[in-house]
Amino acid sequence: MEIKLKSPLDMHLHLREGAMLEAVAPLSAETFSGAVIMPNLVPPVDNLDRLKEYRAAIYSSIGDEAFCPFMTLFLRDYTEEELLEAKEHIIGVKLYPAGITTNSEGGVASLDAAEVVIAKLERLGIPLLVHGETNAFVMDREADFLDVYERWAQKFPKLMIVMEHITTAAAVRLLDRFENLHATVTVQHLLITLDDVAGGMLDPHLFCKPIAKRPEDREALVNAAVNAHPRLSFGSDSAPHPLSKKECCGCAAGVFTAPIGLQLMAEMFEAHGKLDNYQAFVSDNACRNYKITPPEKEVTLVKKPFTIPKAYGDVVPMWAGREIPWSIG
Ligand SMILES: NC(=O)N[C@@H](CC(=O)O)C(=O)O
Ligand SMILES: [Zn+2]
Ligand SMILES: [Zn+2]
């Protein structure tokens, strides 16, 4: 059995810089036709010059693969002129609450104060992408942020708001309520729960923000994904960290899935008898909602066992060493 995907997209991806960028970008470009590139570098991508340099570095790291990096700016207090100038170069602006995740120290300290720049995004028609967590108890951080999404969805009705990497049933319910709310979901949050991270032997390679939640949360996410919820897209949140930053005391948050996500999700769509919906989830929904036209690329997934490599260079992927039923043809 095999299926073909047209121009798969990864709507939330971390590529880093330097040697890490050189190592991981080709792995995404091999199977994806484009990706939304996160701006949480050190220092962050928060001006157009830095963004153009970063985009050039991405292009040079992928050689001649047909792959479009859809760039984002790290949200700060931009002027309308800055945003207007940036608009043609970006797919959106990414909001990080200060200190909530990897490299977010320069993020937003006051969500209320951020409404000034958010109103500018709405006026200019630039999507707002959000890491939506508060500093509440770790299992409640996303649920606690949903009030903010709801308030902004109502206050900025023309703004496209993307709830990045949703992990809860409550977020799926909120997604259903507002036409201007969109979401991405990762491979790991579709496949694991907190039990897989910390229920038995601790698995640092499954540790990310937001932390994986309960079985009922995963079920709601899977349900929305396999039924191709029209405002939900795949965003891997593939977030490489070197082995030394994962297998240590003080493990960095981030799961690396870029080269294995499509294979893993084929199994999930197949198990639900919904392989027909896979195309919408990994490409068509995103093209329609973000109004983008990625380069043409066709990827064949074959039902043939594949063993996830132990490592890609210095980076250990999710489920390293495990045999899975689908591979890239
Ligand atoms: N998801 C993560 O756990 N980590 C991401 C940042 C993010 O997306 O929050 C990273 O950049 O490493
Ligand atoms: Zn995040
Ligand atoms: Zn991320």
The domain spans of the chain are: 2-328
pLDDT of residue 57: 98
For residue 257 and ligand 1, the question of a CB distance below 6 A is answered with no
pLDDT tens digit sequence for 32-62:
999 999 999 999 999 999 999 999 999 999 9
237 labelled catalytic: yes
Q: What is the pTM of this model?
A: 0.98
pLDDT of residue 181: 98
What gap in Å lies between CA 59 and CA 110, rounded to an integer? 35
Q: Which atom of ligand 1 is nearest to the CA of 253?
A: 3
For residue 237 and ligand 1, the question of a CB distance below 6 A is answered with yes
- Best CA proximity match to 66, nearest among 6, 3, 135: 6
CATH classification of 2-328 is 3.50.50.60, yes or no? no
pLDDT tens digit sequence for 275-320:
999 999 999 999 999 999 999 999 999 999 999 999 999 999 999 9
**240 CA from centroid of ligand 1 (Å):** 9
b/e map of 157-185 (b: 16 or more CB within 10 Å)?
eebbbbbbbbbbbbbbebbeebebbbbbb
- The annotation places the binding site for Zn(2+) at 12, 14, 94, 131, 165, 237
Name the residue with the closest Cα to ligand 1, atom 2: 254
pLDDT tens digit sequence for 140-192:
999 999 999 999 999 999 999 999 999 999 999 999 999 999 999 999 999 99
pLDDT of residue 35: 99
Helices 48-62 and 18-31 meet at what angle, rounded to 10? 60
Question: Which residue among the candidates 49, 237, 276, 314 is catalytic per the annotation?
Answer: 237
pLDDT tens digit sequence for 187-232:
999 999 999 999 999 999 999 999 999 999 999 999 999 999 999 9
